[in-house]
């Protein structure tokens, strides 16, 4: 029983993390049909913003020293800033290009950010201890759950409901949803393209920053590669959820997290290193059955 509870908390917190990352990808895809390969690098950028630039193995806290109340908004703002900046510098000039060109450009941009980080911080993963107290276990329903897991689950719920409210109730949210469905029509009704796109990038970047904070607290490591892996999962979740569908991205993010945790628990020991291979193969099989995504009505035509 306690094992099951443990599994539940693991799945919920990992799923939440994936859902947040997937939302970041889906938001931008929805508004401008861009598959943003730089998203993982936004995450890595936010992680490294916590520490002093140096190539030493042990990280010295920089922004990470600030108290949480200041740190969290600053990092979220930083994530939003780099995303908005990348839109301004790169993607704005590709508005009329086809989605494939934008996708390749984002891949190149991600590579640039990644190598800039490598050049500044070196390639070795660094130990970072941000809020170590949060890893103290708490007993719930017979399972010993690190406080952080609870916080992750709660903050995911918070972020997802917050975003849902924002999209549903605010002016910019309405404009984003309209733009995601038919950008030209929205503009014909006076919706400002730049405002909507900048808004989407800012939200997406802030989500990347939230993911970064959670990952760094959980793993205690700053590694340039950490963004890439979660970005891949997020991509998969957005495709599984139906490209462009925000609720689909959240649901698929949770699903991938759950399957991933279950595989980790049930796979025989010698097969565990291959967990991701099993996971991605499962995903490809899923897509074979439902190419338009799991959470999209079968009648809907693929949007890309």
Residues that bind another protein (CB under 8 A): 33, 35, 90, 93-94, 97, 99-101, 103-105, 107-109, 111-112, 115-116, 118-119, 171, 174-175, 177-178, 181-182, 184-193, 228, 232, 235-236, 238-239, 243, 273-274, 276-277, 280-281, 283-285, 287-288, 291, 302, 304
Choose between 34 and 130: whose C-beta lies nearer to another protein. Answer: 34
Q: How far is the CB of 304 from another protein (least distance, A)?
A: 4
Share in percent of the chain as helix, strand, coil (round to 5): 75, 5, 20
Residue 302 DSSP symbol: P
Q: 295 near 241, Cβ under 8 Å? A: yes
Q: Residue 10 Cβ, how far from another protein at the closest point, in Å?
A: 20
Cβ closer to another protein: 35 or 258?
A: 35
Comparing CB distances to another protein, the nearer of 74 and 112 is 112
* End-to-end alpha carbon distance in the chain: 44
The β-bridge relationship of strands 137-140 and 143-146 is antiparallel
* Least distance to another protein, CB of residue 135, Å: 27
Query: Would you say 10 or 41 has its CB closer to another protein?
Result: 41
d(CA 69, CA 253): 28
User: Min. distance of Cβ 182 from another protein in angstroms?
Assistant: 6
- 77 vs 177, which CB is nearer to another protein? 177
In angstroms, the CA 237 to CA 302 distance is: 15
CB of 278: closest distance to another protein in angstroms?
Answer: 9
Is the CB of 1 or the CB of 184 nearer to another protein? Answer: 184
Specify burial of residue 298 (Cβ count, 10 A radius: 0-12, 13-18, 19+). exposed
Task: State the minimum distance, in angstroms, from the CB of residue 215 to another protein.
Answer: 18
- DSSP 3-state of 301: coil
Q: What is the CA radius of gyration of the chain?
A: 19
Q: Are 47 and 226 in contact (CB under 8 A)?
A: yes
Shortest separation between residue 4's beta carbon and another protein, angstroms: 27
Give phi and psi for 126, each to the nearest 5: -115, 145
Report the alpha-carbon distance of residue 114 to residue 233 in Å, rounded. 18
């Amino acid at each position: 029983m306690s094992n099951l509870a443990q599994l539940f908390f693991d799945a919920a917190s990992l799923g939440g993390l994936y859902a947040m990352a997937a939302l970041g990808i889906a938001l931008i895809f929805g508004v401008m049909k861009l598959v943003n390969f730089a998203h993982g690098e936004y995450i890595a950028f936010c992680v490294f913003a916590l520490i002093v630039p140096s190539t030493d193995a042990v990280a010295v806290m920089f922004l990470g020293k600030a108290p949480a109340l200041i740190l969290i908004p600053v990092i979220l703002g930083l994530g939003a800033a780099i995303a908005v900046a990348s839109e301004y510098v790169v993607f704005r000039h590709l508005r009329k290009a086809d989605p494939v060109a934008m996708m390749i450009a984002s891949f190149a941009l991600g590579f640039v950010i990644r190598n800039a980080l490598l050049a500044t911080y070196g390639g070795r993963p660094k130990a970072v201890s941000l809020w170590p107290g949060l890893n103290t276990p708490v007993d719930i329903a017979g399972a010993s759950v690190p406080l952080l897991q609870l916080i992750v689950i709660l903050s995911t719920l918070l972020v997802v409901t917050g975003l849902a409210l924002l999209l549903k109730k605010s002016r910019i949210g309405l404009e984003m949803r309209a733009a995601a469905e038919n950008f030209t029509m929205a503009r014909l009704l006076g919706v400002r393209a730049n405002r909507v796109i900048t808004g989407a990038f800012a939200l997406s970047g802030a989500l990347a920053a939230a993911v970064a904070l959670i990952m760094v607290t959980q793993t205690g490591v700053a590694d340039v590669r950490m963004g890439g892996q979660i970005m891949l999962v997020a991509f998969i979740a957005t495709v599984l959820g139906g490209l462009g569908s925000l609720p689909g991205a959240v649901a698929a993010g949770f699903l991938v997290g759950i399957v991933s945790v279950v595989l980790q628990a049930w796979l025989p020991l010698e097969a565990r290193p291959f967990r991701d291979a099993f996971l991605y193969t499962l995903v490809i099989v899923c897509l074979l059955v439902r190419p338009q995504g799991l959470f999209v009505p079968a009648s809907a035509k693929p949007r890309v």
